[in-house]
Amino acid sequence: MEAFGLLVHGFAVLLTWKTLVLMMVGLVLGIFVGVLPGLGGPNGVAILLPLTFTMDPTSAIVMLSCIYWGALFGGAITSILFNIPGEAWSVATTFDGYPMAQQGRAAEALTAAFTSSFIGSLVAVLLITFLAPMISSFALKFGPPEFFAVYLLTFCSFVGLGREAKHKTVISMSLGLLLAGVGMDTVSGQLRMTFGTAELLRGISFLVAVIGLFGISEILLTMEERLALRGHAASISLRVVLGVWKDLPKYWVTLLRSSFIGCWLGITPGGAIAASFMGYNLAKRFAKDPESFGKGRIEGVFAPETAAHASGTAALLPMLALGIPGSGTAAILLGGLMVWGLNPGPLLFVEHKDFVWGLIASMYLGNVVGLVLVLTTVPIFASILRVPFAAVAPMIVVSCAIGAYAIQNAMFDIWLMLGFGVVGYVFKKIGIPLAPLTLALVLGNRAEDAFRLSMIGAGGDLKVFWSNGLVGSITTLAIVLLFWPVLDRLLGHLTWARR
């Protein structure tokens, strides 16, 4: 097989002491930036990019991609221990990961998160290895209607499959869509809802909102409960790790499903965020006891983490093959490629074999090394829980504020973060879910643009969403998922009546 030969060649390029050291350095730096809320993968890679200018392209991309893997691993840590998603795609991990930490199962949750990250990435890398040439032509099939259909599918699956009351999900999602509209509208070139202020020009940053909604509101809630530390001291041991691994085969359906969703959404730039939510919702939908989700179920950690990492990894493929970055971090890596004089595109695979296959080989190695690294350093991270809350809380607030500020170097964002903190607190009190809001804030703009571009192209004809097999099946699936609860009941009645 040609791909296999090329991969072996890639490993040969990679296996030098220098590259291996760079890999370790990259992973440690990546975990570090992944743990800090708001700093995250894209910013970390951006800050460290200039370090690589003097390196040769292969070493540089190996180091940068290891920072990326590290950040992917690290994002799970704060989600589970503090209920603060370090990365957007870790939001869904908090749903069950944090309750697990509260029940004193932090080590178990972390092991589950890292293991599933590893599995997700591995599936995606395998896919990249063998499908690279074919996939680039598939991604080209995506025009505005197809993009819109994917976003619609994400929104609909959220409403239809969510555990919360439908009207509350819709309220939260609508608010997110409204906030996503703030700033410049690409299609008309006009400003919307900025009220003449320069601060609102750039729109509402998703990360600022997430840090406030999840991080600050959690601190407020905890304070209300008289500074009681939620969660217990966790000590990770080989026994816990092996225990989690032993149970892995039980969850093979969830792992496989999430890997598939992740790869698919990573290649069609739906992104890791949508993938993690979809992975979580589907796992819940197909579980025998959906009520147990959100209360500390290990599958609730497996599902989103596997999907997010499969997607994060698969997103590199359209970046290399087409120059379309599937994620923020991929966009920065794209900038890096160009600095090193490599232009992404179909020809990259032909003209720079060493580079492409070196990168793919580094995905395998980086993942294995990364898994070992995070598992062995988990005690350090888990020990954070032993520090008294009164000492940790101010540190979290400060690191949230730094994170919010660092995104745009804007003081305004810190106020915005505090505002979202209050919103998050109120929402948690009255039982409105936060996830639909964040999802809509991320995808709202893109979904709107895709819809309006489809309409301009088709002269306002809605039939464009059923104009070919690909877009038609995605749209139909979206609508089926939206009305799933109703359909489910109808089907139930029918089978009951037949008996």
Partner 1 sequence: MRIPVKAVGAVAAMLLTTPALAGWEPTKPVEIVVAAGAGGASDQMARMMQAAIQKNSLMKQPIVVSLKGGASGAEALMYMKSSEGDPNKVLIAYSLIYMLPLSAKIPFNWRELTPVSVVALDQFVLWDNSAGPKTVKEFVAAAKAASAPFKMGGTGSKREDHVLTVFLEQKTGAKFSYLPYKSGGEAATQLVGNHTESNVNNPSENLEVWRAGQVRPLCVFDKERISYTTKVTDTQSWADIPTCKEEGVDVQYLMLRAMFLPGKVTAEQQAFYVELFHKVTQTAEFKDYMEKQALKPIFLTGKDMVQFLEEDDAVNKSLMTEAGFVAK
Residues that bind partner 1 (CB under 8 A): 46, 50, 53-54, 140-144, 183-191, 198, 201-203, 322-325, 331-332, 334-335, 338-339, 343-347, 408, 449, 453, 456-457, 459
**Residues shown for the chain:** 499
The least distance separating partner 1 from the CB of residue 410, rounded to whole angstroms, comes to: 9
The least distance separating partner 1 from the CB of residue 75, rounded to whole angstroms, comes to: 20
- CB of 239 or CB of 463, closer to partner 1: 463
The least distance separating partner 1 from the CB of residue 299, rounded to whole angstroms, comes to: 36
- CB of 50 or CB of 394, closer to partner 1: 50
Phi, psi of 184 (to 5 degrees): -80, 135
Q: Which two tokens stand for residue 120?
A: 């997700």
The three-class DSSP label of residue 352 is coil
DSSP H or E stretch at residue 331? helix 328-339
Of 137, 74, 145, the C-alpha closest to 318 is: 137
Q: Is the dihedral of CA 142, 145, 149, 151 positive or negative?
A: positive
The least distance separating partner 1 from the CB of residue 295, rounded to whole angstroms, comes to: 39
The least distance separating partner 1 from the CB of residue 21, rounded to whole angstroms, comes to: 23
Contact 379, 235 (CB under 8 A): yes
Alpha-carbon gap, residue 280 to 95, rounded angstroms:
9
Residue with tokens 């950690």: 301
- CB of 349 or CB of 425, closer to partner 1: 349
Contact 366, 337 (CB under 8 A): no
DSSP H or E stretch at residue 6? helix 2-14
- CB of 186 or CB of 237, closer to partner 1: 186
The least distance separating partner 1 from the CB of residue 457, rounded to whole angstroms, comes to: 5
Residues sharing a CB contact under 8 Å with residue 24, sequence separation 6 or more, in sequence order? 66, 369, 373
- CB of 412 or CB of 484, closer to partner 1: 412
Contact 217, 425 (CB under 8 A): yes
The least distance separating partner 1 from the CB of residue 143, rounded to whole angstroms, comes to: 3
The count of other CB atoms within 10 Å of the CB of residue 173 is 23
The count of other CB atoms within 10 Å of the CB of residue 320 is 27
The least distance separating partner 1 from the CB of residue 453, rounded to whole angstroms, comes to: 5
- CB of 189 or CB of 431, closer to partner 1: 189
- CB of 343 or CB of 376, closer to partner 1: 343
Of 250, 301, 308, the C-alpha closest to 89 is: 308
- CB of 165 or CB of 201, closer to partner 1: 201
